[in-house]
Structure formats: structure tokens, C-alpha cells
Amino acid sequence: MKSLRRIATAVAVAGLVAACATATAVGSTKTVTISVASLIPGSTQAAVDQFNAQVREFEKANPAIKVKPVEYQWTGPTFAAKLAAGTLPTVFEVPFTDARTLGDNGQLADLTSYVKKLPYYSKYNPAVLAEGTDAKGQIIALPKGAYAQALHYNRALFKEAGLDPNKPPTTWAQLRADAKQIAQKTGKTGYAEMAKDDNTAGWILTTVVYSLGGRMEVGTGTSAKATLDNPKTIQALNLLKAMRWTDNSMGSNFEYSWGDINQAFAGGSVGMYISGSDVYTNLVQASNINPGIYGLATIPLAKNKTSGVLGGGTLVGVRPDANAAAKAAAVKWIDFFYESPLVSKAQAVRNAQTLVANKQPVGVPALPLFNKAQYDLANTWIKPFINVPLTQMKPFLTGIFKQTLIPEPEASTQSVYHSLDAVVEAVLTNKNTNVVQMLQQANSTAQAAIQQGT
């Protein structure tokens, strides 16, 4: 995957020129049409029906706005291509790590004047809102969701392997032992990791390194120093190496992408894996998981002062070529679809009812986008409609607020992850991989990217 910083400058002009050809405009009937990111390709019909029902509700309340849903899934290669071609929808989603780069390159619209008119503007969690604010103080994106990395585990495989599904591992030594037992007793993969060359391998490795107390860089901006080859990264990779080659607990697929590993887990072939705490929604919408097998726990943390859990999130932005009417319409959609269910009781209830009617999850664990008082209040509104297995998520819900949340590497995030992809793949596919040597090479690559701001 190419870093957004790497491609941003090269496509800034070309992308905007191409975008102007399809820019949203207001017609003579004063109706504005906006295209919006909807669901990922391959979502279930029930999920599509639920989304379309919300579009109809929005259009009924806003007859001058026409919404065109567009299938959307953020990945580095596809996003870079759509950015360059100017084919992104009017309203689209990006990770926390990439919004500021887009904003700095003029590839996100300034939404400040529209956002500050929202009645709940003052209730935003300042730390979360800051992720969508550029260096000039302009609000260029609003939060969709924030997550902490978590351990997802198959309760059925735990039980089949003779493990207690109510007691997921709390240390890496225990996780290793549980993975080995699952593999030996069930013949399934005990523990899997994303290892595809699309930045996800580096993302998950960074998560493990954080949990052990390490960091991938120090400092900020182009003066930051890459520290990929720190002792904790070596420890994390040696752990993977032992689980793969000594324990034989990691199965035989070492090309998992984010979507692939979700499918494998939902299909019952993976005992444990790491991903965002909010991934249950995708497991339902795209993978048709049996809720009864699902378990959610916190990631094991080393007992030292620097260990913590990687956190991140998703922001919603608007194309920079959108005119004033389109930007106003886009913020109305963002307000309706993403934000209002968290701040308006009526909208929260309507949204929950629509989700339940279409057999979609309500109550998936997520970090608060607004202040704690608002977060707690919103949870009381949807309590009657919650249909996710909260009891099976208790290990996460009771443990996450005791863990230190650590943001993703700030400088050249995607380039740092990409530098690590090949190292993870090598460890899982070549028993004789020289971990230290490969990390040194990856560190040099990441340092060059940081210095170039790519």
C-alpha cells in the first residue's frame, strides 16, 4: 500500500482537476445530489436494506437533497487510485492517520462553519475532534468512530479445546499456550495475524509491540526518528516465530487481509486474532457470524510502565470540489447518519429500530466520540434495542478503560506500517529469517520515508 503522504503531492492537482468534472452542483430545481460511502462490497442484503432505509428516511426529512449510496471500503491502493482519478464519493471515510495529510494537501473540504452550527458541537471529545482538525485549525472531517485494538476469540473453539471461554488469555504466554491447545485439540488455527502486504501486517505488529512496551518512532514530523528495530519489536517477532514454527499454532494461511481474516474467523477456522474493538459490525454485515461463537477481550499487556493498547479511528470528510450547497448537504448527511444517533434520543431510537428490523447489530463496543456524560446517556437510549452479545464481550468492556490508549505512529504512519509488512511475512513463511537484519532494513526504509514526509 502506498502512503497517502507519498502520493498526495503527486496527485493533488490531477485529482482535483478530475474531480471537477464530476463535482456536485445545484440544479434549477434547487435539489442537490451527493454521493456517500455506504457499505463495503459483499455486505449482506439485510445490511443493504438497512442502509437504504436510512437513506429514504433522510431524503424524506430533506426533500431538497438526493443521496446516492456508493459501495466503499478504505484500502491504501484503492483509495490512492480513486483520489488520483477524482472518483471518490462526495462523503467518504478515512483513518485518523490520513486525514491531516489530505487536509494539508487541500484534498478535504473545510467544514468548520457548518460543523460549529451543530447543536452538539461543544460536546465532542476534544481529543477525537482534534484528529479531524488541520494545522490551520480548520475542521476537515468529523469522527465516525474510535476504537482500541482488541482480542477477538472463538468461544466455541475454546470450549472444544478444553479452555474456559469466559477466561480469555491475559498474558502473551497464556495466549501462546491457548493458541497451541486450540490447534492441537481442534485442528484449527489457534492464533492468526493479518500478514498481507497492504500495511495491515505492520499495523498489527505495531499493536503487539505497543502491548509489550515498545514504540515504532520518537518525535514528530520529518524530524521523527524511526525505532522499528527496538528490542520489543524483536521480542514480538520472535514470539510470532515461535508460535508459527515451534508450536505450529498459526495455521497455513499467511496472506490474510483485514477482510479475509474476518471471513476466516466468522467461518470458525480461527481461534483468536487482533483487530479493532468495533469489528463485530463487519463480522455481522459481511461475514454472517454466528453470535454465539463470539468473544471479545482486551489485548494482553506487559507489566511495565510503557505498555499500552493501540487506538485509532475513522473520520468522515467531504471532497474539496463540493460547492457550498453540496457541503451543507454533506454535513446534514454526516449529522444524520453518523453523529445524531449519539446525541439525539429520537434519532438514536429510530436508528436502533431500523438496525434491529434489518437484523443488524446495536451496541457494538466503541470508544466515546463525545464527553462521558453524553456517552452514558446515549447508551441508556439504545439499551432496549441492544442485540449484540454483551456478556460475551465482558472481558473487553471491563478491562479497556484500565488500559493506556496509545495513538498510532504520527510520522509517515502508513509508510512505517508498510516497511514492516515484509518482515512479518518473512517470519511467517521462512523459518530461517534473520529478524534483526530485516528490522534494520525496515527501519532504514521507514526513516527515509519520515525524512521525506511520505
Query: In which element (H, E) is residue 148 found?
Result: strand 141-154
Query: 149-311+396-452, superfamily in CATH?
Result: Periplasmic binding protein-like II (3.40.190.10)
In this prediction the pTM is 0.80
Among 28-37, 197-206, 387-396, name the one with the lowest average pLDDT. 28-37
In the predicted model, is pLDDT for residue 28 greater than 80?
A: no
| Domains in the chain: boundaries | 4-147+313-394, 149-311+396-452
Is pLDDT of 322 > 70?
Answer: yes
- Report the pLDDT value the prediction gives residue 73, as an integer from 0 to 100: 87
pLDDT of residue 29: 57
Q: Is a pLDDT exceeding 80 seen at residue 27?
A: no
The rounded distance, in Å, linking the Cα atoms of 393 and 296 is 5
Cα–Cα distance, 30 to 116 (Å, whole number): 24
Domain 4-147+313-394 identical in fold to domain 149-311+396-452: yes
Share of the chain above pLDDT 70, in %: 93
pLDDT value at position 366? 83
Q: Distances in Å between the alpha carbon of 12 and those of 84, 181, 323, 326?
A: 7, 51, 18, 21
Q: How confident is the model at residue 138 (pLDDT cuts 50, 70, 90)?
A: very high
Residue 125: pLDDT band (50, 70, 90) is confident
> What pLDDT score was predicted for residue 420?
98
Residue 20 identity: C
pLDDT score of 92 more than 70:
yes
* pLDDT interval class at 14 (50, 70, 90): very low
Looking at the domain 4-147+313-394, which fold is it?
A: D-Maltodextrin-Binding Protein; domain 2 (3.40.190)
Contact 43, 72 (CB under 8 A): no
pLDDT at 53 over 90: yes
Distance CA(211)–CA(37), nearest Å, equals 33
- DSSP strand pairing (309-318 vs 141-154): antiparallel
